[in-house]
Amino acid sequence: MDKLRILLVCGSGASSGFMAANMRKAATQMGLHLDIKARSESEIENYIDEIDALMVGPHLAYILDDVEDYVGDAPVKVILMKAEYYATLNGQKAIEHLQEVMEQ
């Protein structure tokens, strides 16, 4: 799972920014090389060609159909983040969830 490019999205990009920072810190501690960016949901289309995984805030579950349209045939895994780690901004748990999905 080295050198994955991940985009996190929330409504405005603020909470995903904190989550991205915590995930970068956890990735370093776990010895993983992940490129993690955070943006607002309105910017998803701009990044589809540059990412391997898109992690969506749990409060944005309603946009998943639209996200699937944006992704189309691109080889991007779309992951709905779980409220239990998102609420506490637990970067390690987010990475563990990412790893589970990427290995499927």
Locus of tokens 């990427």: 102
pLDDT tens-digit readout, 44-88: 999 999 999 999 999 999 999 989 888 989 999 999 999 999 999
**What are the angstrom distances between the C-alpha of 39 and each of 26, 30, 43?**
19, 24, 6
This prediction's pTM: 0.92
Residues near 86 by beta carbon (within 8 Å), at least 6 away in sequence = 15, 19, 57, 58, 94
76 contacts 48 by C-beta, under 8 angstroms: yes
Give 21-36 as a 3 state SS string.
HHHHHHHHHHCCCEEE
CA dihedral 99, 51, 7, 3 (to 10 degrees): 50
Q: Domain holding 28: CATH number?
A: 3.40.50.2300
How many separate domains does the chain show? 1
Tokens of 82: 């779980």
What residue numbers bound the domain in which 16 lies?
A: 4-102
Task: Give the model's confidence band at 14: pLDDT under 50 very low, under 70 low, under 90 confident, else very high.
Answer: confident
